[in-house]
Amino acid sequence: MWLTWREAMERALYGEDGFYLRERPSGHFRTSVSATPAFAEAVLALLVEVDAELGGPPALDLVDIGAGEGLLASHVLDAADPKLRERLRITAVELSPRPDGLPDPIAWRPTIPPSITGLAIANEWLDNIPLDVAEQTPDGPRLVMVDTRTGEERLDGPLCPADRDWLDRWWPLGAVGARAEVGRPRDAAWASVLARLVRGRALAIDYAHPVDNRPACGTLTGYRDGAVVPPIPDGTCDITAHVALDACAAAGERAGGISTALSTQRDALRALGVTAGRPPLDLARQDPRGYLRALARASEEAELIDPNGLGGFGWLVQSR
């Protein structure tokens, strides 16, 4: 069946028996959340900052968008002190069924709450928002179609005016054969988060690239069982594409976001105390077991801030 990439991704990931309705992400790829509890502790530190900025509201929201198996929400709940936990209202947003054993205080729903006071976090959510692919031809950008059974591609007609405008602003195509992933649906998805944020911050974390350094051939990638595979939209694998976070930031500002900050995960986590510092050698003599625990923690933190790995992810923070 020939479809646009946006239609094919929607069907493969979220349609009847789609990948994300059938599979648990932890079986297919590693994320910051699954790598170490240190990530959730950093998110909690950020949440505490937001709480202080808001003056300690009676109910403080943490909304985890694209929650997967609810691991981030569970870890933050476990790490929060009792007084904060009394005011904490945690919502996990995910299309798949509620996981067994998820703590009762965590709400599970398929859509973003209508109002958020606190912190909304979208960790590797935008890269799974379906989008179209365009390829430059002598006659201008053309829409790319894909065979959902084989992954074979062919060119179709020109883009709609809104998508062509988006390309002109955010991903100008050069030579014939250059490709772009049209991020307008991601912009709309992120704007919908800002529109629901009454007070607080919204944070998007994802594979990203800037307008002055877009990849010439695009970034469509498949993942299955922990390995990179061809992005065939037949429902058997995850399909992702890097995010134009700068375009999302502009959409968030149009939706009311302010204080926009774009950085890397490495810089953001280091500011929150994740430094991967090795424990002092004296600790090895005084408390060998404690030294080994601290050494293991430093190794976990190093993975989170590795600039060639998870530390290279983009962080977009906007406030209202």
Domains of the chain: 2-130+182-270+304-319 (3.40.50.12710)
Over the stretch 12-25, which tens digit does the pLDDT of each residue have? 999 988 888 776 66
The per-residue pLDDT for range 297-307, each reduced to its tens digit, is 777 778 889 99
pTM of the model: 0.93
User: Which pairs with CB-CB distance under 8 Å and at least 24 residues apart come from 85-91?
Assistant: 87/56, 87/57, 87/58, 87/59, 87/60, 88/60, 88/62, 89/59, 89/60, 89/61, 89/62, 89/118, 90/61, 90/62, 90/63, 90/64, 91/61, 91/62, 91/63, 91/64
**Residue 299, CA distances (Å) to 38, 116, 207, 307 in order:** 11, 35, 22, 14
pLDDT digits (tens, 9 = 90+) for 71-127: 999 999 999 999 999 999 999 999 989 999 999 999 999 999 999 999 999 999 999
What are the pLDDT tens digits along the chain (320 aa)? 999 999 999 999 999 888 887 766 655 567 888 878 899 999 999 999 999 999 999 999 999 999 999 999 999 999 999 999 999 999 999 998 999 999 999 999 999 999 999 999 999 999 999 999 999 999 999 999 999 999 999 999 999 999 999 999 999 998 999 999 999 999 999 999 999 999 999 999 999 999 999 999 999 999 988 789 999 999 999 999 999 999 999 999 999 999 999 999 999 999 999 886 776 777 667 766 866 776 677 777 788 899 999 999 999 999 99
Torsional sign, CA 69, 295, 302, 280: positive
